[in-house]
Amino acid sequence: MIAIIGLGYVGLPLAIEFAKKYHVIGYDINKQRVEELNSGKDSTYEADIENMIYVMNLKKSSNEKGLSFSYKEEDLRSANTYIVTVPTPIDENNSPDLSHLINASEMIGRIISKGDIVIYESTTYPGCTEEDCIPVIEKSSGLKFNKDFYAGYSPERINPGDKVNTLTKIKKVTSGSTPEIADKVDALYNSIIEAGTHKAPSIKVAEASKIIENAQRDVNISFVNELALIFDKIGIDTHDVLEAAGTKWNFLKYSPGLVGGHCISVDPYYLASKAETLGYIPQVILSGRHVNNSIAPFIANKVMKLMIQKDHKIKGSNVLILGITFKENCPDIRNTKVVDVYKELRDFGINVDIYDPIASPEEVKYKFGIKLIKEIDHNKEYAAIIHSVSHFEFKSFDFEKYHNKNTVIFDVKTIINRSLIDGRL
């Protein structure tokens, strides 16, 4: 039996795919989340509900495959393969927060048996699995690593909200703590991944391969974000420049924007932290983070300048932000930088409304203390509207109406008709 520890954006799709061929139990400490899934619903929108219900029903008629969910630790005891897909966030000091990994490892240690394999998918720095997690399992279980139990690492490559590049369509990197276990882990994933697998020579290499994927994207985006800051001072449009430069075949077509979410804006800090413990202070990685973190206040201040140019007062004015999630058509609000734009505007005495048809109002209120508006009052006078997330619903928004009312319209995502906007990133 395979136990999937953590049923979020990564764990749930993985559990569903494995359950088509194996007996799988999906575990989460959140009882409400488990009850939601047992009722056939998924608030992350990542699951193929039809497939999820199919494998849940499959479990009722088969002892060899199918999916069930539980929040009870004891229900996992009969598993022989544990796959850990818990969050790996950063703390207020941008340092790695391994608490979820450590807690999951302690729990596995209490129920693991001889011969079992523990596979980690959570993104972390090279060495974390063997140096931080495995010792916890050894201490909790009393078993010896690579003698009584084994480990593997296969980094998740889920792209939240992406319905094209799904789990089985993306090549999977695999690894194991011994050559034999590496083969077993690789074969396990190969049985469900249509795109195939790549067996890394070690767990550390597999860990590093994942973390540099996101660090590379972060650095590339930081470059065009810095261009946006420079070109704003010059007085030329960044996208005009990128469109011209993009006519060369080898130009990398990245666009400026807010860099949030659980991966790109977090993972570079894990790599930087590991480097610092080894006595090396990374320059490029941290400078990229610095630039990307400066974009939210830049947007807020740019909007206020445009408001002044249109004779709007700052203090006491109304501003509408469209979208709070970290990306379009996805309810994920983890580490969204839209909140930073909101806070910057609020610091100047502006009344800010945020409308998002996809985000959970309860979750937004709990995590950020922000109350989303349920619907847009089109009779309300807004001095500015910031289009921050390209949800499908916003494609039909009547920006022309507000443009004609002297409202500042700022397009972070560059999809609004250019004649209707006052500024864009």
For residue 109, what are the β-bridge partners? none
**Helix (H) or strand (E) segment spanning residue 152:** strand 150-153
Q: Where are the beta strands (DSSP E) in 17-120?
A: 23-27, 66-70, 81-84, 117-120
The token duo for 368 is 């950020």
Hey, CA dihedral for 60, 65, 71, 73, is it positive or negative? positive
Contacts of 241 by beta carbon, 8 Å cutoff, 6+ apart: 227, 231
**Helix (H) or strand (E) segment spanning residue 354:** strand 351-355
| Cα 120 from chain centroid (whole Å) | 17
Q: Which of 128, 133, 263, 330 is catalytic?
A: 263
128 annotated active-site = no
Cβ contact 264:330 at 8 Å: no
Burial zone of 41 (CB within 10 Å; 0-12 exposed, 13-18 middle, 19+ buried): exposed
CA 372 – CA 377 distance, rounded (Å): 13
Secondary structure class of 252 (helix, strand, coil): coil
Cβ contact 160:332 at 8 Å: yes
Pick from 182, 252, 257: nearest CA to 225: 257
Hey, CA dihedral for 24, 111, 98, 208, is it positive or negative? negative
CA 356 – CA 363 distance, rounded (Å): 12
Please give the positions annotated as active site.
263
